[in-house]
């Protein structure tokens, strides 16, 4: 669906304004942590049937990934990590844990260059090296790509297609890299949270990881299932080279 564009349009951060979940949803009672956790892992979550949200963590594995994984395990929440190859290489044990504990792994380049400013061969190399490191660390290969800064153009989507990957961006940001404050990150994240939302976060931001127990508990108390990004975009049947969400200027 992205191929209709003739010009090489650089996409800045996606600025889709999301309406917060209706107040009514907030009345959903908090599930009993232990029992709800067992029930949720028993069957795959169907986002056509239940209220889903995908928290996504870029640029990792960051220094605080271990603590984040502990929190996610405690609340039986699944997330997606868009990993940077250079850090997969330096922190492989976190990547192994991410895969073992049921989280989704995505490719976020090797060293975070702007894909819109480098040659196709260099984009291929960034993606391939990262695939190789993740395979080595966790025994799995990502099936989704998020280019650094969410920057994509026709050339980027064509290379993504060569790797059989759709490009998955985000619908809203936690602005954690800028806020660096536990309460502010929590407030912003909960404000932009919406059904089938894809939230951009970073596990190298200490305050994000510190805010996570509270964010997860609040989202779950509002009836959200925290799921892998692939579960949230499933209904869109993304093909290799597709971009989701489609940024402004890319509409057919």
Q: Which residues are catalytic?
A: 58, 202
| 59 touching Zn ion, by CB under 5 A | yes
Residues near 85 by Cβ (< 8 Å), separated by ≥ 6? 109, 110, 111, 126, 129, 130, 132, 133, 134
| 133 touching Zn ion, by CB under 5 A | no
Beta carbon of residue 202, minimum distance to Zn ion (angstroms, whole number): 8
Nearer to Zn ion, 58 or 196 (CB): 58
Beta carbon of residue 123, minimum distance to Zn ion (angstroms, whole number): 15
Beta carbon of residue 203, minimum distance to Zn ion (angstroms, whole number): 11
How far apart are alpha carbons 216 and 69 in whole angstroms? 12
CB nearest Zn ion: which residue?
A: 58
Report the candidate in 47, 78, 52, 49 with the shortest Cα–Cα distance to residue 235.
47
Beta carbon of residue 192, minimum distance to Zn ion (angstroms, whole number): 18
How many binding residues for Zn ion (CB under 5 A)?
3
Stretch that binds Zn ion, among 18-26, 35-43, 147-155, 204-212 (CB under 5 A): 147-155
Crossing angle between the packed helical segments 92-100 and 65-74, to the nearest 10 degrees? 10
Choose which of 58, 126, 176, 203 interacts with Zn ion (CB under 5 A). Answer: 58
Nearer to Zn ion, 58 or 126 (CB): 58
How far apart are alpha carbons 94 and 174 in whole angstroms? 23
Bridge partner residues of 57 (DSSP): 81, 201
Nearer to Zn ion, 45 or 172 (CB): 172
How far apart are alpha carbons 210 and 46 in whole angstroms? 29
Q: Which two tokens stand for residue 23?
A: 């107040």
Nearer to Zn ion, 40 or 103 (CB): 103
Nearer to Zn ion, 59 or 104 (CB): 59
Beta carbon of residue 96, minimum distance to Zn ion (angstroms, whole number): 21
How far apart are alpha carbons 98 and 61 in whole angstroms? 9
Neighbours of 150 (CB within 10 A): 21
The residues that touch Zn ion, with contacts defined as CB under 5 A, are: 58-59, 148
């Amino acid at each position: 669906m992205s191929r209709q564009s003739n010009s090489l349009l650089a996409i800045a951060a996606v600025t889709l304004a999301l309406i917060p979940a209706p107040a009514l949803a907030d009345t959903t009672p908090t599930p009993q942590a232990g029992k709800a956790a067992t029930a949720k892992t028993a069957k795959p979550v169907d986002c056509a049937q239940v209220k889903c949200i995908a928290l996504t963590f870029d640029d990792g594995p960051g220094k605080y990934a271990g603590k984040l994984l502990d929190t996610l395990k405690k609340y039986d929440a699944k997330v997606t990590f868009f990993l940077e190859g250079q850090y997969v290489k330096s922190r492989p044990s976190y990547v192994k844990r991410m895969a073992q504990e049921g989280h989704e792994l995505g490719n976020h380049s090797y060293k975070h260059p702007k894909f819109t400013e480098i040659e196709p061969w260099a984009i291929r190399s960034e993606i391939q090296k990262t695939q190789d490191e993740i395979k080595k660390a966790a025994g799995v290969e990502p099936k989704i790509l998020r280019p650094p800064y969410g920057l994509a153009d026709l050339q980027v989507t064509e290379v993504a297609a060569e790797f059989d990957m759709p490009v998955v961006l985000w619908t809203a940001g936690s602005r954690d890299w800028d806020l660096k404050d536990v309460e502010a990150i929590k407030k912003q994240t909960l404000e932009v949270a919406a059904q089938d939302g894809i939230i951009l976060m970073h596990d190298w931001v200490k305050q994000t990881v510190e805010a996570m127990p509270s964010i997860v508990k609040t989202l779950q108390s509002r009836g959200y299932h925290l799921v892998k990004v692939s579960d949230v975009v499933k209904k869109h049947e993304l093909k290799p080279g597709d971009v989701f969400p489609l940024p402004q200027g890319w509409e057919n």
